[in-house]
């Protein structure tokens, strides 16, 4: 009897494919809107952009991402240090990563969505991403998968075939071989502050323009 109860509870915790698909489309739609706002303001954060970033952040489980990214180190941190790391990680993604949404130039109707065969909690999205090569903007296809938990919050992303948490963990593991956690955190804070002070780069010439 207990076994069936456990199975039932686990089944109830898995969001439906339709719910995950709707969540993904909503998340991508907000990401594209952030990109539009960023392009219009030429990279300067406006109140609208900040509101869009806060909305996106509210849909991400940063604690789950931090635990996966730090691995065993996370388990040994005090509550105070965990809170400090979480705040820094979230702000880093908001300041350094989300603004790159201005390179996502497709409309929502042009984004191709498909259910991932790996899990009902994953949806694959393919869209256009502008990247700079030799000072000129060129377009390329980019694929990413959003991975959701039972509460339908994003806990990880597969970007170009690699888990974001795995990419972060590799960087953190490498850094922690040479420095303490406190030194790593200070380095992250410095990079974050440098990103806040960085002025928007001049517009690149687009191929074919």
Q: Could you tell me which residues come within 8 angstroms of residue 199 by beta carbon, excluding any fewer than 6 positions away?
A: none
Q: What is the pLDDT of residue 135?
A: 62
Whether the predicted pLDDT of 3 surpasses 80:
no
Q: How confident is the model at residue 139 (pLDDT cuts 50, 70, 90)?
A: confident
Spatial distance between the Cα atoms of 93 and 59, rounded to a whole number of angstroms: 13
| Distance, CA of 146 to chain centre | 9
Selection from 141, 161, 155 nearest residue 23 by Cα:
155
**Fold adopted by 16-198:** Nuclear Transport Factor 2; Chain: A, (3.10.450)
Q: How far apart are CA 112 and CA 126, in angstroms?
A: 5
Residue 10: per-residue pLDDT: 40
Name the pLDDT band for 159 (thresholds 50, 70, 90): confident
Reply yes or no on whether the pLDDT at 102 is more than 60: yes
Distance between CA 5 and CA 15 in Å, rounded? 18
- The label of the residue with tokens 């694959």 reads 124
Whether 12 has a pLDDT exceeding 90, the answer reads: no
What pLDDT band is residue 14 in, cutting at 50, 70 and 90?
Answer: low
Asked whether the beta carbons of 113 and 123 are under 8 A apart, the reply is yes
User: Where exactly are the structural domains of the chain?
Assistant: 16-198
Per-residue pLDDT tens over the stretch 52-91: 999 999 999 999 999 999 999 999 999 999 999 999 999 9
Q: Of 97-111, 117-131, 187-201, where does mean pLDDT reach its minimum?
A: 187-201
Given this model, what pLDDT does residue 2 score? Answer: 53
Question: What is the reported pLDDT for 120?
Answer: 79
pLDDT bracket for residue 133 (50, 70, 90): low
Measure the CA–CA gap between 185 and 143, rounded to whole angstroms: 30
């Amino acid at each position: 009897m207990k076994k069936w109860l456990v199975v039932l509870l686990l089944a109830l915790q898995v969001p439906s494919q339709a719910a995950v698909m709707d969540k993904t489309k909503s998340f991508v739609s907000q990401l594209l809107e952030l990109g539009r706002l960023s392009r219009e303001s030429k990279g300067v954060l406006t109140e609208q952009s900040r509101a869009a970033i806060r909305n996106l952040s509210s849909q991400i489980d940063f604690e789950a991402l931090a635990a996966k990214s730090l691995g065993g180190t996370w388990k040994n941190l005090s509550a105070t240090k965990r809170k400090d790391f979480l705040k820094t990680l979230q702000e880093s993604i908001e300041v350094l990563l989300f603004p790159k949404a201005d390179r996502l130039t497709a409309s929502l109707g042009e984004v191709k969505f498909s259910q991932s065969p790996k899990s009902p909690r994953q949806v694959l999205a393919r869209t256009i991403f502008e990247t700079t090569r030799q000072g000129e903007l060129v377009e390329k296809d980019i694929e990413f998968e959003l991975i959701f938990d039972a509460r339908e919050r994003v806990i990880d992303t597969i970007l170009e075939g690699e888990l974001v948490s795995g990419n972060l963990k590799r960087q953190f593991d490498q850094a922690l071989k040479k420095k303490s956690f406190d030194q790593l955190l200070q380095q992250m804070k410095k990079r974050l502050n440098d990103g806040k002070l960085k002025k928007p780069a001049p517009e690149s010439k687009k191929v074919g323009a």
